[in-house]
Structure 1
Amino acid sequence: MLDENLTEKRQDPLTGEKEENPITGETGPGTGLKDLLPLPAENAQDIFQSKKAFDKAAGSLEDGHTLSHALATEDHKLKGAAQLESEKEVRNLGWNEPKQEIAAPLVGGIDNEELWLLVRRFNKQIIHTKAVVTPVPGGLDLNTAEEEEFSPDKMRANIERFYMSVVVGILAAVKHIARLRSWREKERTAWFAGVYFTAWLFDFVMPLITGVIIALIVHPPTRELMFPPAPIALVDTNTGGVQKPWAGTLGSKDSATGAPENHKGEAVEQEADNLVNGLAELAVSSAAGKHPAGDVHDKTKKPMELAMWAKLRPFMQVVGNIGDNCERLANALSPTPPFPKDTHRLRLATLVIPLFGASLFVTSYMFVKSLTFGFGFGMFGDPIIQHGMDYLNRVIPDWQKLLELRNTLLKGVPTNAQLTLTLLRIGEANKAPLPPPPRVVEQPVQDPANHPPTLDSEAQMRLEGAAYPMNASPSELDEAAHVDPKDGLREAGFDVDSHSKNKQTKKSNKVLGWVKNVTAGLVHTGGATDHVRAKLGSHHAKERLDIVPPKDEVPVSGPVKFDCRFDGKKGHCYVSTTATIPSIAFATGKDDEGTTVIAGKEREDIKPVWTVAVADIVELKKVGGYGWKAKIVVDWSMEREVKDGLEIITTEGKTFKITAVPLRDELFNRLVAMGGQRWEAW
């Protein structure tokens, strides 16, 4: 039986202990003895009863009732620049500075590049949030709502996340297997083969497999020892040897193409983006090839459209759930501070240890007999199964949801979005908002004359982590290092020379350029017309003012002042934390120097148009001045990023919609991380 004194001395109402955990040696939220067990939380049955309110509403970050709030506000042993104490109202850690000028690390235990990778993907994934008053599954908020709205943007984000979280991981595993089977790394493969066949000889294969799994979970150095990493794009899936990356150069380690990148993870993100673009192009091309006479008396069109849209939301949720669980599993195996280092790994191991013990005594005969009995029971035991299901539904409502991975085995383990929110809350708790990911306009360097490819030496291969350059000969390395993207595609079996896009003539390019210029002119004319219509009182025209920025404009607002418009009026939103109650306000006044007045200084000559307490915000929604189709046209023709808006809804039901916000995502992130709300993603 667990020591009751240890389990009662909690650091917060949800999880954690003040004393050191005797098993993991950790302290802080989420490290208690009970947290080692894959059991639902004590209040788990209340989680899915939406009409039952929580004990009290959370107004401030310190009052938040989730593990994320507790981790963000505790005193961390490993500290970065955003966790240092300061007497300033808000510290600017480099919001408008190049990444070389930003302090590193911003958060202790995580590299800035990794932090910015998480924030970039958070900005694209989280579009709409609502505050909930019920307990949250797994002790972490920002879970996806059951009634999540469907939109093309969300569908795209989920498919891209599925590629980055699942597809790339599967590809890396396949290439690891190819390396082992190739016998190019003879010593490593010989060890694997020798141990496996020895275990097979003594009927010890299952204990071997489960034992290796336990070692990989509990002792991370075992992973690189058994599976030394190598750039994904460099490994040939068929031969297990060295291949030329599809991009023609090795500019990234975790991408399928090896394309160059300015920041960590950008190449994979671009691959995911191009994947969705390709699927959309294929769908449009297929639709364009339909029979022209099929629309006249087609009675199946409307029903099929309704059925398709009805099924797309569940499909989107399935894809999202798979991505969530893959991210949770990755974060359990390789946790990021401030989340516990060992607790979640040991919980995973507790699931495998009984299997290891059973495998020592269960014979192959017993295993086959059990398997065939289970198959037979599933086929013919339906009356018993249905009776048991009815009993569970009657005694424990929503028992299926209580057994979800996020409430049991992966309880307290964050998705990447939940991890990012916790990191953002750390900055807000210390009045040091995390700087946004640096904006890089230029393309990644890939000039072979002045900047040779990274794959140029045995030392570089060692740096990448591969085993003695995968036993590749110098000629193989030289061939792989030669820069020609078409060569890499040719070796993969693509007929790049006959591809239609490579046969475009100068005439077609001129026509496309002419169309682009005409479209840009129409967009510019429409923008000028909006100014006239806005003065005449058009609401929609007011919302479109200044959403297309001047060419090469670099936004420089934040972290307190954010340039924007409200009801067509130009001004700024400022976030104040000096007052007892943190708030956001919109003002149009300017000081003597002509710059907009920001929070932190009370000025009698400035009267905000409106002010909203952060604790009173119940909904945040990113909105666009243009529809998604028009936005694509503007982005393409003007070669500029449209400035979108943000909708803020309060507890009183009031809605404040600000538009033309250059740093819309950054303002959203500050508001979603400042208070004690328990958010749900919609």
Structure 2
Amino acid sequence: MPAPGYVFRDGGATPPAEENPDSEFRKRINEASKPITATDKAPLGQNTSTSHQLATGAGDHEVLGSAQKAGRENHTTNLGWQANAVGVGTLVGGLPNEDLWTLVRRFNKQMYHVKAIPEAPPGGLDLNIAEEDDFSPDKLRANIERLYMTVIVGFIAFGKHIARLRSWREPRRTAGFAAIYFLAWIFDFIVPTILATLIVLITVPRSRDILFPPAPIALVNHKTGGVQKPKAGVLGSTDSVTGAPEKYKGEAVEQEASNLVNGIASVAISSAAGRHDQSNPDDEGGSKTLDSGMPDPTKIATSAADASSAAQGGTPEKAHDKTKQPMEAAVWAKMRPAMHAIGDISDGWERLANALSPTPPFEQNKRLQLGAIFVPLLLLSLFVKSQWVVKGTTFFTGFAFFSDPLMQRGIALLNEKIPDWPKYLEIRNTLLKGVPTNAQLTVTLLRIGEANRAPLPPPPKSQQPPPDKPADDVDKHAITDGGLDATQSEIEDAITVDQPSGEEAAEGEDQKKKKGGFGAKLMSAFKHTTAGGVETKLATDSARAALGSHHAKEKLGVLPSRDEMKQKPVEGPVEFKGRYNGRKGAVYVDSKVSPAKGHRPASPCVYFTTHLDGDEGVESMPREPDWAVSIPDIIEIKKIGGLGWKGKIVVGWATSREVKDGIEIVTKDGKKYRAMALSERDELFNRLVAMGQQVWESY
């Protein structure tokens, strides 16, 4: 990979383009630009991670994208932030832009609060979930959605592969599996055969498509193993269970995950309401006026249960029911470990997937190490008799059951000698050490762009609904050649949308023309009244802000106007328009390398100013910025909401407008800086997380 242009971790600059690439100066700069990383032989106390080293040149960079080729200019390179994916070349070598934007889009939903930690984790990769991370319904929702998109969809796909094998609709493949299985059974080689197959599947990627030919999940019937019409009526996506159309790759399965959470009862009611501290910009005022008048959606389930009990002659009052409060407290207390367990399962699945199918610049041969683990087991299975396995299993089961006092003493001794010993036994620090989760992969890709002063552009957006047509990546010939028991005409009928008959079309037109009844009119009137109340509240905030109210100032500009929503220009990568203390301005990200001067911090830095000139350099500002923070001084970054969580529900329903949110930065000396009403809040957050050498932990 070419030498980074301005690397923020050392302040070194790449020499001019005409400099001899083999010169001694160039070599010194290249060596200086690579930060010390926590490798297998390095101590755990180092302040950089493997992710930082990969971003600055280590790892697999044989194929270079536009972000890796940049870095020779004396300013930030715009790789197409305003292009909305039109005409944007491959950004990171070895990874299609569609996959990159899918990772970034899911990263934006998963990450909203990070803190710097003093040392690299044992696995060498940062951005792990903090142990003391508190529970909230919104976090639970995000974890359930991630569990669906990774584990549940993976098991559904595996189940449909099994259905295809059992159905004998692909006779040659099923006959081959059956012949090998029964031959192994005859010669008592079942376990060695299974282990050998696992080793081949892990170490030889091509074998996976040969043994299990891919097919769109929604196209395979889970009972018969044959072709079915997707539940969405058209095969608009290949990686979703319903086959629903999508505007961009990965959106269909994301919407499925969201709808799954919305359909879960009890706890999902709290999750769907989106209650979380990151949506509450202050605890003392501000949006409390709007929130205080709204009922709490999290009480709907318990209130309905109490009403049902009362209707049947029960006594749900607290005076009669002494178990209500302790049971509710016990349920909510257990939600935190349950949420962490769901997150750990998703993390493990993502690491396993990234080990089997690695993404550059991460190591491509990790699967060989993973497959090597099964080789000793394969050799042992050739000589160890099944009776010995049964004897050993039953012995260790009995020992674990009856040796609790001995085990407790051993655990106490370990806790005394090695307090953090469980961390060294976690799969992320043993079998899958150095293998990233999708979030860790994403932050590494973002760091590649920042190391070359070429921030990755945000995922594209579209206000148009997805088209009702088959996905562009559906290859009918590949599906039939892969062995799926269906002709091309049958597949064509299954993947295309059915045209409605004349009667159905006429009925649909009548439904569109048909006006709503009394209930619809009443709801519409209530919606318009609520929208008027929201506008009145925001107008009141403007008046209070003019009188000096700090909380009211933070609400200014959070609700975009209709004209602004229509235009909705994409901002960045240097300038992000927003407000500070109610004043219009912009947050600028200065990626140049320069020393501190007066009250202006050393660059790279982030600062807010009301002087908008598009120039990122803080040293060229004609007047002092409202606030400025050097990137190395940041220890915490948090996304905050423009309104409280209940206020967001009201505004979103009544006005159909997106609320602009904000960001909070905490420095080493404990100072906090905020910028509100940011349209591209997620993009600014990603830039700040990826720029410095901080080792982050997710909260």
Fold shared by both chains (TM-score > 0.5) = yes
Indicate the residue corresponding to 1:290 in structure 2: 305
Q: Structure 2: how far apart are the matches of 1:301 and 1:264?
A: 46
Q: Structure 2: how far apart are the matches of 1:525 and 1:324?
A: 45
Cα pair distance change 1:485/1:367, threshold 3 Å: farther
Query: Do residues 541 (structure 1) and 556 (structure 2) align?
Result: no
Aligned residues of 2:130 and 2:698 also touching (Cα < 8 A): yes
- Summarize deviations over 1:79-119 as a string: whole Å, max 9, x none: 1000114223100001011212212x100010000000000
Query: Do residues 424 (structure 1) and 410 (structure 2) align?
Result: no
Aligned residues of 1:248 and 1:485 also touching (Cα < 8 A): no
Amino acid at match of 2:637: L
Aligned residues of 2:65 and 2:92 also touching (Cα < 8 A): yes
Aligned residues of 2:184 and 2:190 also touching (Cα < 8 A): yes
Indicate the residue corresponding to 1:306 in structure 2: 329
Residue 671 of structure 2: which of 632, 654, 672 is its match?
Answer: 654
Amino acid at match of 2:531: A
Amino acid at match of 2:132: E
Q: How does 1:152-551 map to 2 (within 5 A)?
A: 152-279=137-264, 283=269, 286-292=301-307, 293=310, 294-295=316-317, 297=319, 298-342=321-365, 344-446=366-468, 452-454=469-471, 460-463=475-478, 465=479, 467-468=481-482, 470-473=484-487, 476-477=490-491, 479-481=493-495, 483=497, 506-551=517-562
- Summarize deviations over 1:309-339 as a string: whole Å, max 9, x none: 2221111111111111111111111110000
The 3-state SS of whatever aligns with 2:239 is coil
For structure 1, the residue ranges without an aligned partner over 5 or more in a row are 1-11, 13-28, 45-53, 59-64, 447-451, 488-502, 591-595
The 3-state SS of whatever aligns with 2:588 is strand
Cα pair distance change 1:469/1:185, threshold 3 Å: closer
The 3-state SS of whatever aligns with 2:86 is helix
Residue 560 of structure 1: which of 571, 574, 589 is its match?
Answer: 574
Indicate the residue corresponding to 1:74 in structure 2: 57
Indicate the residue corresponding to 1:621 in structure 2: 638
Amino acid at match of 2:379: G
Which sits farther off after the overlay, 74-83 or 115-124? 74-83
Q: Structure 2: how far apart are the matches of 1:171 and 1:416?
A: 20
Q: Structure 2: how far apart are the matches of 1:289 and 1:117?
A: 39
Residue 579 of structure 1: which of 593, 602, 620 is its match?
Answer: 593
Q: How does 1:585-624 map to 2 (within 5 A)?
A: 585-590=607-612, 596-600=613-617, 602-603=619-620, 605-624=622-641
Measured after TM superposition, the shift of residue 370 of structure 1 is: 1.7
Which sits farther off after the overlay, 362-371 or 174-183? 362-371
Amino acid at match of 1:563: K
The 3-state SS of whatever aligns with 1:123 is helix
Residue 142 of structure 1: which of 127, 137, 143 is its match?
Answer: 127
Aligned residues of 2:347 and 2:437 also touching (Cα < 8 A): yes
Q: How does 1:41-52 map to 2 (within 5 A)?
A: 43=43
Indicate the residue corresponding to 1:490 in structure 2: none
Aligned residues of 1:455 and 1:481 also touching (Cα < 8 A): no
Identity value in percent: 53
Aligned residues of 1:137 and 1:407 also touching (Cα < 8 A): yes
Aligned residues of 1:247 and 1:484 also touching (Cα < 8 A): no
Which sits farther off after the overlay, 609-618 or 572-581? 572-581
Q: Structure 2: how far apart are the matches of 1:212 and 1:307?
A: 45
The 3-state SS of whatever aligns with 1:206 is helix
Measured after TM superposition, the shift of residue 444 of structure 1 is: 0.5
- Summarize deviations over 1:51-99 as a string: whole Å, max 9, x none: xxx45xx5xxxxxx21000000016322100011422310000101121
Q: Structure 1: how far apart are the matches of 2:499 and 2:568?
A: 32
The 3-state SS of whatever aligns with 2:83 is coil
Aligned residues of 1:564 and 1:661 also touching (Cα < 8 A): yes
Query: Do residues 114 (structure 1) and 99 (structure 2) align?
Result: yes
- Summarize deviations over 1:424-479 as a string: whole Å, max 9, x none: 00000000000000111111101xxxxx53599xx93234x464561125674355
Aligned residues of 1:542 and 1:568 also touching (Cα < 8 A): yes
Indicate the residue corresponding to 1:6 in structure 2: none
Aligned residues of 2:49 and 2:124 also touching (Cα < 8 A): yes
Instruction: Normalising by structure 2, report the TM-score.
Output: 0.81
Measured after TM superposition, the shift of residue 544 of structure 1 is: 1.1
Measured after TM superposition, the shift of residue 555 of structure 1 is: 3.3
Q: Structure 1: how far apart are the matches of 2:43 and 2:113?
A: 26
- Summarize deviations over 1:552-589 as a string: whole Å, max 9, x none: 24133200001010111110010112232300111012
Q: Structure 1: how far apart are the matches of 2:631 and 2:435?
A: 27
The 3-state SS of whatever aligns with 1:99 is coil
For structure 2, the residue ranges without an aligned partner over 5 or more in a row are 1-8, 10-33, 270-297, 311-315, 502-513, 595-602
Which sits farther off after the overlay, 601-610 or 84-93? 601-610
Cα pair distance change 1:559/1:604, threshold 3 Å: closer
Measured after TM superposition, the shift of residue 639 of structure 1 is: 1.8
Indicate the RMSD between aligned Cα atoms, in angstroms: 2.8
The 3-state SS of whatever aligns with 2:188 is coil
The 3-state SS of whatever aligns with 1:626 is coil
Cα pair distance change 1:241/1:306, threshold 3 Å: same
User: After the TM superposition, which parts of structure 1 deviate over 6 Å for at least 4 consecutive aligned residues?
Assistant: none
Aligned residues of 1:93 and 1:102 also touching (Cα < 8 A): yes
Q: Structure 2: how far apart are the matches of 1:94 and 1:478?
A: 37
The 3-state SS of whatever aligns with 1:290 is helix
Instruction: Normalising by structure 1, report the TM-score.
Output: 0.83
Aligned residues of 2:161 and 2:212 also touching (Cα < 8 A): yes
Measured after TM superposition, the shift of residue 536 of structure 1 is: 1.2
